[in-house]
Structure 1
């Protein structure tokens, strides 16, 4: 993963509301989440939510799909895995690592 993409993704996640949104998308898995459900669960305005979702999409961490009149947002699990891979590429200086990765049903 290019460093510029890593920086963009980490910058997007370095904001409380966006981090909460992204975690919600990850929990939802491939089914995704409607913005109205996110706004209600996060107690935020639709305009603020739209701004934060746009930032996550631009950072490559989320995708959107139109389903009739609704928009469904989903986490981009491949991008999340690439980011985690970048961060752990040289973990423990090549020695066996004590930390085991967490399995993900969506990855």
Structure 2
């Protein structure tokens, strides 16, 4: 993930509702939740939630799958891993053991 994509992802998460959406979808796991249910759980109007979900999707933090007449959203764990990897890329004075738990594929 390049610097601009990382900044866009962090900007998407810097808004309270979008942060809550991402956290909710992380807890929901890979199966995700329908957009309407996300709006209900976070007490947000559906058209407002659609805007937030679109922002998260453009940032690569959520995926959208058509499920009949609704759209199901799920956290994009690979997208978030890429953000973390980019943030930690040049960390810790070249001592990779410090960031090992954060590196792709190395988490326990």
Post-superposition shift, 1:100?
4.6
Post-superposition shift, 1:4?
1.0
The aligned counterpart of 1:41 is 41
Q: Please say which of residues 8-17 and 33-42 is displaced more in the overlay.
A: 33-42
* Structure 2, gaps ≥5 residues long: 103-108
The aligned counterpart of 2:2 is 2
* Structure 1, gaps ≥5 residues long: 102-107
Q: Does 1:92 align with 2:100?
A: no
The aligned counterpart of 1:67 is 67
Distance 2:22 2:56 in 1: 8
Q: Call closer, same or farther: CA 1:61–1:98 in 2, change over 3 Å.
A: closer
Distance 1:99 1:44 in 2: 38
Q: Please say which of residues 37-46 and 89-98 is displaced more in the overlay.
A: 89-98
The aligned counterpart of 2:76 is 76
C-alpha distance after superposition, 1:26-56 (max 9, x if no partner) = 1111111111211111111101101100100
TM superposition score normalised by structure 1: 0.86
Distance 1:67 1:98 in 2: 38
Post-superposition shift, 1:98?
8.1
CA contact (8 A) 2:34 2:73 kept: yes
- Number of equivalences: 101
Post-superposition shift, 1:60?
1.1
Distance 2:14 2:67 in 1: 30
TM superposition score normalised by structure 2: 0.85
